[in-house]
Structures are given as C-alpha cells and as structure tokens.
Amino acid sequence: MEKILVLDFGGQYNQLIARRVRDMRVYAEILPYTIPLDVIRENRYKGIIFTGGPNSVFDMASPHYDPAILDLGVPVLGICYGCQLTAWMAGGKVETAKVSEYGKIELNVLERASLLFRGVPEKSTVWMSHTDYVSEKPAGFTVTARTNDCPAAAFENAAKGLYAVQFHPEVTHSEFGRKMLENFLFEICRCKGDWQMDSFIEDSVASLKERIGDKEVVLGLSGGVDSSVAAALLSRAVGRQLTCVFVDQGLMRKDEGDFVEETFTRLFDMNFVRVNAGDAFYKALRGVTDPEEKRKIIGTEFYRVFWDEIRRHSGKGYFAQGTIYPDRIESGKGDADKIKTHHNKVEMPADVEFLGVIEPLADLFKDEVRRVGEKLGIPHELVWRQPFPGPGLGVRVIGEITPEKVKLLQEADFVLRDEMAKCGYEKHLAQFFCVLPGVKSVGVMGDHRTYEDLIVIRAVTTDDFMTADWAKIPYDILGRVSARITNEVRGVNRVVYDVTTKPPATVEWE
C-alpha cells in the first residue's frame, strides 16, 4: 500500500492534512518529528509533508530534523513552519517578518510551469498564519510564488522533489489548496490513489478472522459512533464469538438505550448484553452538585459496573475497543512520548485477563469511521450522530441530578432534535442540545401563574471544536421549538437560546 508521511512539528492542522490526503484516496499517517530517519527510510513513503508549528525555526529549542531527510530521494512538501524548516535545512535564511500575515492573502504564482501550481490561476486566495518568513531562499531553489509581504511564499527544487509553501493549502480558505495537494500527490509523488473503504473492510475482516480464530471477543459498546462501527466490523468477522457489553447509566437521550439494543440485536449476529444501571448511578449522585465531582462519580460508577460485567468473560479471549486514529496519535509539540488520552482508551483492572486488545479502527479518522459504518449497514442516525459527552446528560443537568430532571431534559431535547430533523436544519449544525440550568421563572398558562423550569438551547457551528460559533438558526425554527417544548414538556415555561462563542464559553455548560 502506498503511503504519505505527515511529519508533525506541532501544528494544529496535522490531522487535517492527513485527512485531506486520505480524501484523495491516498493513505496518510502522522508521526512526530522525533521519529528516527531510519524508520522513515524503511517505510518507503511515496512522499513526506512537513506540518506547520507555533515555533521559530532559528530558536534551537524548537522542533528540528536531520537535514538528510531532504536527500532520501522522496518528494517533500513543507507547509508553514515546515516551509521555513525546509529552507533552514537546505541553507536558506529565516527571519522575523516586518509584517506578519494572518488570514486570507492574495497569492501571486510566478512560475506557471511548476508542477505544484499546475491548474492554479496566477492570482488566488490562500490562508496565511506566520510571523517568521524565508528571507533568503536556499541555493538551487526557485521562488515560485509570492505575496505583497512575503517574497518567498513558495519555492522549490524540482530536480530533488523538494517543495515548500508558506501558506496552508489544507484549509478550505485556501482557494486552490486542494488542487495544490492533488498536484503534490499525483504529479510529483506519482501516487495511484487506490486506497478506499471497501478494501479496508475486506482486509480488516480477513485480518480479524485470522487473529481471533475460534476465541471469544468482548467489546464495551457505548452506543457512540466508534464503538458501534467496531462492533459491526467484528460481528462481520466472527459473528457470535463477539459479546457486546452496553451499560445504560440512565443518562442517555430519550429512548436511546432501546434504540442501541434494537439496532444491534436486529442487524448483527452477536451476543448483546445490556446492563441497566440507572438506579445505581442516581443513588451515587444523590445530593451532589459540583460538576467535577459529578463527572468523577459517573466515571467511577461506570468503571465499576462495566468491569463487573466484563469479568464474566475474562480469560476467554480478546478485549476490543473503538479506539480511532486521533486517539493514539503522538504529539509533535515536545511531549511526543505521551499518547493522548481519550474515553475510548479503557484502563484494564489488574485482575482482568485477556489474550490481547483489538482495536479494528485504530488507523481511521472519524469521518472514515462513519463511511465504514454506512457500508456495514449501521443506521444513518447512529453513524452520523453528533458528539455526546461520556457522562451523558449528567453534564447538561446543572446542579443535583435526579431521575425527574433527566426525564424533563430528555423530553425537551427530543423536541429540539425532532424539529431540527423535520426541517433539515440539523445538517448545518456541528452540535445542538438542551440544557437544564436549574433556574425557575414566572410564567402564565391559561389563567394560572406558573413557576417552572427554564430550558436553554445550545447549538454551534465549527470545523474542529477548538473554536465554535453560535448557530444562526432562523427565528421561525426557534419559535417552533420553543412553542413545542413549553406546550409538550410538563414543567417548562420558558426557553432561551445561548448566543455565546467558544471562547469565551465552552460548547458544553459543565
């Protein structure tokens, strides 16, 4: 399989670069800048992309790399910090710019014959984000593009297959960025573009069958996208050798536990174990109002209930989990020996023994996991469900959590989701939900004065959840949602809409 290496120097867009490459049906993997040159040489990559990063290349405490990487005979594309690093390693000069460039900038292509700019107009918009710049290009390189304030916005040594751009072609703000990446992959690296999801499923099923043999597999199924797709893939591979353990902690959305159970018992050949533990969770949460303490209790209780059930299967085979690629990517920000933690990564108690851990989705990004899920026949509403916090509605009930409060919030949230689905506006939103803030207000219904709960609607748009904007939902849609909630959900007499961005707020309230 042909592969592209994304060498991470701490940039925030490292995963986005790899996803863009994979979107073009070329497999990309991310490694930190601490990876030895011999490993890169042995993996025989078709091309290498240096990511951006927040550092200055002339600060020797910043991430650097062995200049010999430029002599491997493998095409290289340096992006932003990666551009400056390419210049630095090749003998050019990098300085702090007199005028920094941030945001949309007009790019002027100087060398129309450049393979990197084939099919790109002479003038186009690109996304810049830099304080330093290449003030002197390395010997043997040609400047191929510039901006008003950046004289070497792109340069190359075509004979050696070395290319560098000061801007970010991977973001949608760069008008012809996708075309430039296509040119690098197919014109310069000569990739075939034959990596696809169908072959992933076939290869994975064959590999899982071979590894598991006649042993059992137990999977912790949360009902989220990752664990659900992992379950479907394992079911196709080993059928009833798979046992899925689903802990319903009583803090899911309306009827969600029943939906998960019905889906997996109807569509897939497996053993499905549902543990209804809501009463235990509510008892443990009684009287607790501090948000961090609530999260800790929910996590601890889930750990106890889950592993009590898993112990019934200990020693009989393998343990599986829905780890995906971003969960295990090593950081290029100086702490590359630390793997990012994630809710899919489950710490196994010392007294639980399995032959090994199986992570069938460990090489996929979230959007790729969703595509696999669709091909495996998982319902659209499960595959494309929006992010849902591990503690469930426990972080959307402010103050003490009780069954009555959760029931009220479930009903209000159901109305919101139902209306968004009916009008089709859900496709414009990254995440939307209701919050019960524990605030009561005066109202009037008929001839009676009321003093009942207030519901907050939260809806955001975002590409990466690092920042988020409040969604500009049309007033008529908000009006219908408000009317339905106050009419249909007993105990609610007021609905408000959260119009705060992230930052300063977070997406969730707790």
What is the dihedral sign for C-alpha 80, 81, 83, 84? positive
Tell me 387's DSSP state: P
Q: Is 80 a residue of the active site?
A: yes
DSSP string, 82-98: HHHHHHHHTT-EEEEEE
Do the bridges between strand 440-445 and strand 448-461 make them parallel or antiparallel, or are there none, so unpaired?
antiparallel
CA–CA separation, 155 vs 144, rounded Å? 5
Find the catalytic residue in 168, 256, 313, 434: 168
Contact 47, 76 (CB under 8 A): yes
What's the longest Cα–Cα distance across the chain?
85
Give backbone dihedrals phi and psi of 495, rounded to 5 degrees, phi first.
Answer: -130, 130
Question: Which residues are CB-neighbours of 30 under 8 A, at least 6 positions away?
Answer: 6, 8, 14, 15, 18, 325, 329
Q: Is 175 a residue of the active site?
A: no
Neighbours of 506 (CB within 10 A): 11
CA–CA separation, 267 vs 73, rounded Å? 49
Q: Is 182 a residue of the active site?
A: no
Quickly list H helices, 320-402.
325-328, 366-375, 380-383
Find the catalytic residue in 101, 156, 170, 419: 170
Tell me 436's DSSP state: B
Question: Which residues are CB-neighbours of 298 under 8 A, at least 6 positions away?
Answer: 249, 251, 281, 285, 390, 391, 392, 394
Q: Verify cis geometry, omega within 30 degrees of 0, for the bond prior to 504.
A: yes
Strand partners, 317: 216
Write out the catalytic residue numbers. 80, 168, 170
